[in-house]
C-alpha cells in the first residue's frame, strides 16, 4: 500500500484547498484517472463521512508523467444539490505554500 | 413593493430546499429583537429590525454585502459595543432578559453566545488549549480531569475526537481547514452557550469540509439556537428552518425558509434568492 495526496477546492468560490492523504494500492497510478478518483472517494466515504456520499465526475485526466490526476466534478448531497469541486491527486507530498 | 409568486422550481432549476427546512411551531422563543436600529457615526446600518429567533432552529441571515446582517449578528452578543461613535436603539431580549441594557456585562453575556467566524481562526496554541481556554476563563472547569473531560466532550460533539485524540497538544493551526473550523465550533460550544452565531462558516472550505460542517450544524441544532450568515443560497436553503432577507439595513422578509425560497413575497427577495440580484 502507498500514501497518495489529494487536494480539493471549491470550484465555485475557491477558498482554501482541503488536503486529504489516503492509502491505496501501490499500482494505483497504473490505473485510469477515473479509477484513481474512485479510490479517493472510497476513502472519503469510509474514513471521512462514514457513509456514502454521491459524486459525479465531469472530467478527469492524468499528467503526462502519470504521477498526478486532475478531476472536475460535484459532490451531490442528499437534497440533490451539487457542490462543484476541482480535485488534484498526486503520488507526491504537497509542497509547503 | 410589487409582490411576485416564484415558480416552485426556480429559474436555474438548481436551488433545492433541504429536507430539514421549515420551522417547527413547538420550538421555544429564545431571542427577540425589537425595533433595533444601529448607526456607525452618522451612517445608519440597521433600521427598525424586529424578529424572533427560536431554540433548535437554524435561522439564516441572507442579503447582499452591506445590507447589515453582520452588524445585526454582532449586536446580538454586543461585539459592536467597542466601536467608537456607534450607537444602538431598540431591545434584544434573551430568555426574557433585555441584554441590550448597559447594565448587562458584555463578557458575561458573551458566554451565552458562541461565535464561529468566516475563516477558521484557532488560537496559535494546542488543540486542547483552544477548547479549554474559554471554559477555564469563565470558571466552568478547574481541575485537570474536568478540563480533559470537557475537551473530549466538545471534540466528540463536533466529530473531531477520533481524528485528533492522539495529538491534542499539537497546534490547532496544523489541522486541515475543515478540521480547524470544526475545532472553532468545539471552542465555541466549550463555554456552554445557548446561541451559536456563525458568520459564513463554510465559505472558505472545500466541498467535503463544507458537507461535514453542514451535517454538524444540523446535529448541533438540537441543542442550540443557531444564527448563520451565508451568501450561498443553496446552503441557506439546505440547512436553515427560517430565513431573514435584509437589504440596505432593513429586514425585507422573514419567515419559513421554504416560503422565502419558494414563495417570496417581495420582488427584491425573489430576485435575490434566484440569483438575479446580489
Q: Identify all chain A residues contacting B205, using CB atoms and an 8 Å cutoff.
A: 10, 15-16, 18
Q: Identify all chain B residues contacting A22, using CB atoms and an 8 Å cutoff.
A: none
Average model confidence (pLDDT) for chain B? 89
Q: B8-12, B114-118, B217-221 — which is least confidently predicted?
A: B8-12
Of residues B74, B107, B108, the one with CA closest to residue B92: B74
ipTM: 0.94
- State how far the Cα of B19 lies from the Cα of B28, in Å rounded to an integer: 21
B118 phi, psi to nearest 5 deg: -60, -50
Distances (CA, A) of A8 to A84, B159, B170: 10, 20, 24
- State how far the Cα of B236 lies from the Cα of B14, in Å rounded to an integer: 13
DSSP designation for A26: T
User: Residue B6: pLDDT band by 50, 70, 90 thresholds?
Assistant: very low
> Is the pLDDT at B11 greater than 80, yes or no?
no
A13 touching chain B per CB within 8 A: yes
| pTM summary value | 0.86
Name B100's Cβ contacts closer than 8 Å, sequence gap at least 6: B36, B75, B78, B88, B90, B91, B92
B210 touching chain A per CB within 8 A: yes
Distances (CA, A) of B88 to A48, B53, B95, B154: 44, 19, 20, 34
Surface-to-core class of residue B7, CB atoms within 10 Å of its CB (0-12 exposed, 13-18 middle, 19+ buried): exposed
Does the beta-carbon distance from B16 to A79 stay under 8 Å?
yes
B79 touching chain A per CB within 8 A: no
Mutate to test the interface with B, among A9, A10, A14, A97 (most CBs of B within 10 A): A10
How confident is the model at residue B7, as a pLDDT? 35
> Is the pLDDT at B277 greater than 90, yes or no?
no
- State how far the Cα of B206 lies from the Cα of A19, in Å rounded to an integer: 9
A35 touching chain B per CB within 8 A: no
A53 touching chain B per CB within 8 A: yes
Is residue A79 within 8 Å of B18, Cβ to Cβ?
yes
How confident is the model at residue B42, as a pLDDT? 93
The arithmetic mean of pLDDT across residues B39-46, rounded, is 95
Does the beta-carbon distance from A19 to B204 stay under 8 Å?
no
A82 touching chain B per CB within 8 A: yes
A76 touching chain B per CB within 8 A: no
How confident is the model at residue B13, as a pLDDT? 46
A64 touching chain B per CB within 8 A: no
Surface-to-core class of residue B86, CB atoms within 10 Å of its CB (0-12 exposed, 13-18 middle, 19+ buried): middle
Calculate what percentage of chain B has a pLDDT beyond 70.
91
B208 touching chain A per CB within 8 A: yes
Residue with cell 422563543: B29
Is residue B91 within 8 Å of B62, Cβ to Cβ?
no
> Helix H segments across A17-75?
33-43
B70 phi, psi to nearest 5 deg: -70, -35
CA distance A11 to chain B (A): 9
Residue with cell 416552485: B8
Q: What does the pLDDT look like over A26-63, one tens digit per residue?
A: 999 999 999 999 999 999 999 988 889 999 999 999 99
- State how far the Cα of B57 lies from the Cα of B25, in Å rounded to an integer: 11
CA distance B232 to chain A (A): 10
- State how far the Cα of A8 lies from the Cα of A41, in Å rounded to an integer: 12
- State how far the Cα of B227 lies from the Cα of B222, in Å rounded to an integer: 13
How confident is the model at residue B5, as a pLDDT? 35
| Strands of the sheet with A14-24, listed across from one edge | A14-24, A2-10, A82-90, A68-76, A54-62
Is residue B81 within 8 Å of B25, Cβ to Cβ?
no
Does the beta-carbon distance from A79 to B203 stay under 8 Å?
no
- State how far the Cα of B151 lies from the Cα of B39, in Å rounded to an integer: 39
User: Residue B178: pLDDT band by 50, 70, 90 thresholds?
Assistant: confident
CA distance A68 to chain B (A): 19
Q: B94-108, B137-151, B214-228 — which is least confidently predicted?
A: B94-108
Q: Identify all chain A residues contacting B177, using CB atoms and an 8 Å cutoff.
A: 15-18
The arithmetic mean of pLDDT across residues A12-34, rounded, is 92
Amino acid at each position: 500500500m502507498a500514501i497518495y495526496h489529494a487536494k480539493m477546492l471549491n470550484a465555485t468560490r475557491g477558498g482554501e484547498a482541503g488536503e486529504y492523504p489516503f492509502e491505496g494500492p501501490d499500482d494505483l497510478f497504473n490505473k485510469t484517472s477515473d479509477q484513481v478518483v474512485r479510490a479517493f472517494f472510497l476513502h472519503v466515504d469510509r474514513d471521512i463521512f462514514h457513509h456514502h456520499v454521491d459524486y459525479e465526475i465531469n472530467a478527469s485526466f492524468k499528467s503526462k508523467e502519470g504521477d498526478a490526476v486532475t478531476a472536475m466534478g460535484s459532490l451531490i448531497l442528499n437534497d440533490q444539490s451539487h457542490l462543484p469541486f476541482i480535485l488534484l491527486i498526486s503520488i507526491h507530498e504537497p509542497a509547503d505554500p | 413593493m410589487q409582490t411576485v409568486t416564484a415558480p416552485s422550481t426556480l429559474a436555474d432549476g438548481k436551488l433545492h430546499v433541504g429536507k430539514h427546512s421549515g420551522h417547527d411551531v413547538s420550538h421555544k422563543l429564545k431571542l427577540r429583537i425589537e425595533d433595533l436600529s444601529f448607526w456607525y457615526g452618522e451612517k445608519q446600518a440597521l433600521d427598525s429590525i424586529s424578529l424572533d429567533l427560536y431554540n433548535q432552529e437554524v435561522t439564516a441571515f441572507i442579503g447582499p454585502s452591506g445590507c447589515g446582517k453582520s452588524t445585526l449578528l454582532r449586536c446580538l452578543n454586543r461585539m459592536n459595543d467597542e466601536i467608537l461613535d456607534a450607537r444602538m436603539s431598540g431591545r434584544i431580549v434573551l430568555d426574557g432578559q433585555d441584554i441590550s441594557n448597559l447594565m448587562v456585562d458584555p463578557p458575561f453575556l458573551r458566554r451565552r453566545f458562541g461565535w464561529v467566524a468566516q475563516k477558521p481562526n484557532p488560537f496559535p496554541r494546542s488543540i486542547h488549549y483552544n477548547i479549554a481556554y474559554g471554559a477555564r476563563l469563565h470558571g466552568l472547569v478547574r481541575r485537570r480531569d474536568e478540563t480533559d473531560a470537557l475537551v473530549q466532550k466538545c471534540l466528540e460533539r463536533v466529530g473531531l475526537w477520533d481524528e485528533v485524540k492522539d495529538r491534542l497538544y499539537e497546534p490547532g493551526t496544523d489541522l486541515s481547514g475543515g478540521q480547524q473550523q470544526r475545532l472553532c465550533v468545539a471552542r465555541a460550544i466549550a463555554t456552554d452557550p445557548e446561541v451559536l452565531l456563525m458568520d459564513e462558516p463554510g465559505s472558505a472550505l472545500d466541498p467535503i469540509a463544507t458537507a461535514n460542517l453542514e451535517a454538524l450544524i444540523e446535529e448541533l441544532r438540537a441543542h442550540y439556537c443557531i444564527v448563520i450568515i451565508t451568501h450561498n443560497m443553496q446552503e441557506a436553503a439546505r440547512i436553515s428552518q427560517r430565513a431573514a432577507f435584509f437589504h440596505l439595513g432593513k429586514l425585507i422578509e422573514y419567515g419559513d425558509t421554504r416560503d422565502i425560497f419558494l414563495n417570496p413575497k417581495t420582488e427584491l427577495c425573489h430576485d435575490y434568492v434566484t440569483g438575479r440580484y446580489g
